[in-house]
Structure 1
Amino acid sequence: MFVLELTYTAPLDRVDALSADHLAWVDAHFAAGTFLASGRKKPRDGGVILAVGDDRESVESLVAADPFVVGGVCAYRITEFAVGRTAPGLARYREQPPQ
């Protein structure tokens, strides 16, 4: 699983100009099952997305297509982690420790 942390690198008026395209991109990844949760950071200087992916390379390719990245208004920090515990609804994402 991956935590995708967005940090805005441009003024909010430039971010807002790309928000509709970014949200359409986010919605497409929710529909595909890639994104599990997302939202703005407080204060509003970026956002956070909880995502699943096959490997880091595929997630890096995915975020490179975000209209915010293409438009040059945000940078991503990608953190991969092994899911050990979850709420019941997310149980299928738990990873088994190596034997």
Structure 2
Amino acid sequence: MFILSLTYVKSLSEIDRLIPPHREYLAKYYASGNFLFSGRQEPRTGGAIIARAGSRAEVEEIIKEDPFLIEGVAEYEIVEFVATMTAPDLDGYRES
């Protein structure tokens, strides 16, 4: 599993301009099963995505498609973790 932390490095007006293509990007990776949760930070300084992938290299390839990254309005931090405990409703995501 991966925590993808986005930090906005440009104005919110530039971020807002890219929301529609960013949401299309998110939808693609929700459909593929790579993205599990996402949303903006409060205060609105960035966002976060919980993702699953076979490797960090795969995640790095996926984020290269984000319009926020392509247009240089956000930077990503990738944190890999092993989900050894989950809420009962999320047992299918538990890793050993």
Query: Residue by residue, what CA displacement relative to the aligned partner does 1:2-58 show, whole Å, maximum 9, x if unpaired?
Result: 000000010011111111000110011111111110000000010000000000011
Task: Give the aligned partner of residue 76 of structure 1.
Answer: 76
Structure 1 segments unaligned to the other structure (5+ residues): none
CA distance in 2, matches of 1:67, 1:18: 7
CA distance in 2, matches of 1:46, 1:91: 28
CA distance in 2, matches of 1:15, 1:45: 10
Task: Give the aligned partner of residue 34 of structure 1.
Answer: 34
TM-score, scaled to structure 1:
0.93
Residue-pair matches, total: 96
Q: Where does 1:1-99 land on structure 2 (aligned, <5 Å)?
A: 1-96=1-96
Identity level (%): 44
CA distance in 2, matches of 1:75, 1:63: 10
Moved runs in structure 1, 4+ residues, more than 4 A? none
Structure 2 segments unaligned to the other structure (5+ residues): none
Once the 2 structures are TM-superposed, how far is the Cα of residue 89 of structure 1 from its aligned partner?
2.9
The one-letter code matched in structure 2 to 1:47 is G
TM-score, scaled to structure 2:
0.95
Classify the secondary structure of the residue corresponding to 1:83: coil
